[in-house]
Structure 1
Amino acid sequence: MDEVEWIRRIQEGETQYLTPLIEHYYPGIQKYCYYRVRSEEEAKDLTQETFYRFCRSVDKYRHAGKCLAYLYTIARNLCNDYLQKRRSLSWEQVQETEKVYTRQTSSIEEQVEGAQLVTELLLLLPEEQREMVFMRYCLDMTFRDIARVTGVNVCMVQYRVNRGLVVFRNYLEGSEIVEKKTAEFHHNYTKKLPFISR
């Protein structure tokens, strides 16, 4: 059974079909919320609020595209609201939140291979471009779905994602050159050191 059938049945009052729909999309929405707010607890709350709002308005929902894009739109708006409120926090509250985030991300990055590099690469990009690259490659969303969620046309989404990949490639190639030169320097330098016998 696909999402169109789930939604049709939910709208007809068969609410038991909410469970498979939520279970199907919950991990991706939570991953997106965590990416945006950098707090596991807040991401869980925002994910639950996303599905609560979806359930509240499911009667009015018209299947004009993928349900996933609709859910991401709700999650995106909730995350934007949360981040807007967070900016108005006092400096002490922000510092405390950052300490919690640092503890959480270090434990997550230990579990996920390459997460530190992904984070480092994403931070090279401006926020709007970073979000699109994350949606495309970490959430496996189509360009069309990203366009629906962000309100940017498909061509611009493709352009921004591709430009992001160029930035990544240049950064990684630059890092490889630096590593190669450092290794060559160490190799040449150690050859020049006098041999000391014991």
Structure 2
Amino acid sequence: MDEKAALKDIRNGGKKGCTVLYKQYVNSLRYFLISKHHIPENDVDDVLQETFFKFVKSIHRFKENCKVSTWLYIIAKNVANDYWRKQHDHSLVSLDEDEWENHLLDEISEEQSKKEQNDLELMMCLERVLALLERDGSKTSHLKCLKALTLRAQGSSVKDVANQIGRTNDATRKYLEGCRKTLRQYQPLQNCWKQLSD
């Protein structure tokens, strides 16, 4: 069952589609949650379960204008943030009476929301650029660069990226650096960065 069929199955109330997507993404999401969001290993399964629960619950809002992986990573990031908010709240139970601490938490939460919104907008812009590159056959080197840099940004090690693109570790480091320079000059990507600074 491919992703489209899995999504259709989930939308029709089936469970097989969710199982297929879970098996496909669980390991990369686990790594993402542990390495990027520092979720303790003994809690990561609960966070993963909540991520997939929210994914299924929000499937009607998923319009397929980005990849399934992007949608899952956004949900996982939000669930991880909720996890840490709850952990933080439990550790502050005795301090709830202090007004200034509540105000500080509100400010932090507001700042996080802005950052999450910027991250989401950037991710969606990058997904559009990726789709554009996939359609434009003349920019295959740009597409390969963006895919390699995306793997790295999602937490893959240089060694993992090297294995995926069939290069040595040193060659991959040089390749990634070259990709960064090349893609900085690519107009659709410049628009993504410009959009964030507006």
Q: Structure 2 length normalisation: TM-score? A: 0.45
* TM-score under structure 1 length normalisation: 0.45
- Which protein is bigger by CA-based radius of gyration? 1
